[in-house]
Structure 1
Amino acid sequence: MDPDGREQSYLYDILGINEEQREALKLLGPIGILRARAIVDERLEAAQKYAHERRLGPPVDNEADAYRHFTWNVKNVEVFGVEKAKTIADNHEKYSAEGFGGSRRSLMDLWNNSVGRQLAALFPGVSEESLWEAAVNAGVVVLTPDDPRLDEWSSSSEWQGEVSMTEEQKRAVEKHLEQSGGGGDESCE
């Protein structure tokens, strides 16, 4: 019996499990955390490919980084649901060097995480790629930490790390999906 959790904490330390991973383990369990890790690796590989194809450099603070965060959240919604996807992404930012919303790069990540989750919930079954293309086309993602929308958003009194998409923006995404044929039940691979 370990009522104060010291034995478990000691085991985490021996295994090299950091705070973010501990939170994910509590939320998802051991099998879920393995699936979450596979999604992280899959989305990082896809972002590296995306960056290479577009000659963007490493996927850090650029369009490829936005793509990675957006598609990571779309996939997490598909696998774990909106609430768990939000917790996973928020914990990732919370335990990052900058802290939750503590830098422009963190704000960019939070923005794209939020938009990815919202669109995944609005358009279930649509692939990450199709949703990304529609989101870029509709101008609802942030492609650089210098985007001025981050200033107004982060200083809002209602700010909780969630983007409030307008009905017009949602319709623009839906219209692009319809026009591109990406609005159906597609494989997310």
Structure 2
Amino acid sequence: MFIQGGFHITSDEERSYIPVNEERACQLIPRWPQKIRSVFTATRTHAINLAKFVTLYKTFLLIQRRLNGGKERDLDTFIAGGLGGWWVFGERTAINEQIVLYVMSRTLFSLLPRLYSTHPPAPLNPVAPLSHPLPNLTSPAANPPPIPPAQLPFGVVAALSWAGVMYMFRHRAERIQPGMWSSMKYLYHDSEIWHDLRTLLWHNM
């Protein structure tokens, strides 16, 4: 197949019905309806999964409280969250993977020492339960404002995180989460090959 007069010419010289320039233009036009549909589907799935989790979580809490004579135990939330997480987010899909990564990173990050404490005296460890009776869910005591982490622990975690991910990307890239792998490949590997400033500054930036 070769190009003549703006049309594709096959080996038997039969013209196709699509001019070359028009065909190329069609290939460059983003398929916005598909992208919009994908975003809508992902958003709907995310919302439905969260609604399922909230329903299951509160149901498991209610069951445990009734089994315990109407009292809430320290690990009730842990058990309810674990059961709901397994039920709703236990299947590995692209959306569930993003949600689990988000929740896991925030959970681990919450274990870092804080700049200060709002509970005099300070808790013995970052996962120490509140004293009983537990505050009402709508009370200020149950909804304290977030406290930022202390600078030194944050810096250590930042250094270890980047050290670890760069090592893994170099030696065990197949274990990196797909979205991050794609971004890192684009930033650190694809940028190794460039032919001019346009390639370096446009395609690799």
Q: Structure 1 or 2: larger helix share?
A: 1
TM-score scaled by structure 1? 0.31
Larger of the two Rg values belongs to structure: 2
Q: Structure 1 or 2: larger strand share?
A: 2
TM-score scaled by structure 2? 0.29
The higher relative CO (CA closer than 8 Å, separation ≥ 6) is in 1
